[in-house]
Amino acid sequence: MRANLKNRLEQQQQNIDLSPLLDVVFILLIFFIVTTVFVKETGVEVDKPQAISTAKLERNIIMLAITNQGEVIYDGSNIGVAGVRNTVAHLLKNRALPVVIQADKLVPTELLVQVLDESKLAGAASVSIATIP
């Protein structure tokens, strides 16, 4: 009887409590989720022009796209040229971010300049055009 009781006590002591390990894993998961920077993509694929003087920008940016049909896209929705100023001004309310415009090769210069102007009028300090190297 005593040997049987002793065996049961030894089996109970050999189990490892995993709850502290799970707590640490969840804390690390929350830390990485909170500190991750999410870049909002435009949601459309444009054929960007090529440039020799291409430089990498920050990861926190406002990304606008202009398709070859003349649509101005932000975060997957068509905002048009008229919506650029309000959208950029709203996004710049909390902190200054650079604006990057992904324009298709076939976009007329007039449309590109209109989007550039609207971004500047919204308060963007830096407006760039995305290219491929």
- Looking at per-residue confidence, does 48 or 91 come out higher? 91
pTM (predicted TM-score): 0.61
What would the mean pLDDT of 66-85 be, rounded to a whole number?
Answer: 89
DSSP per-residue letters across 33-61: HHH-------SS---PPB-SS-----SS-
Partners of 50 in beta bridges: 132
| pLDDT number for residue 72 | 92
| pLDDT number for residue 85 | 92
pLDDT category of residue 47 using cuts at 50, 70 and 90: low
CA-to-CA separations, 21 to 15, 16, 17, 26, 119, in angstroms, rounded: 14, 10, 8, 9, 49
Q: Does the pLDDT value for residue 74 go beyond 60?
A: yes
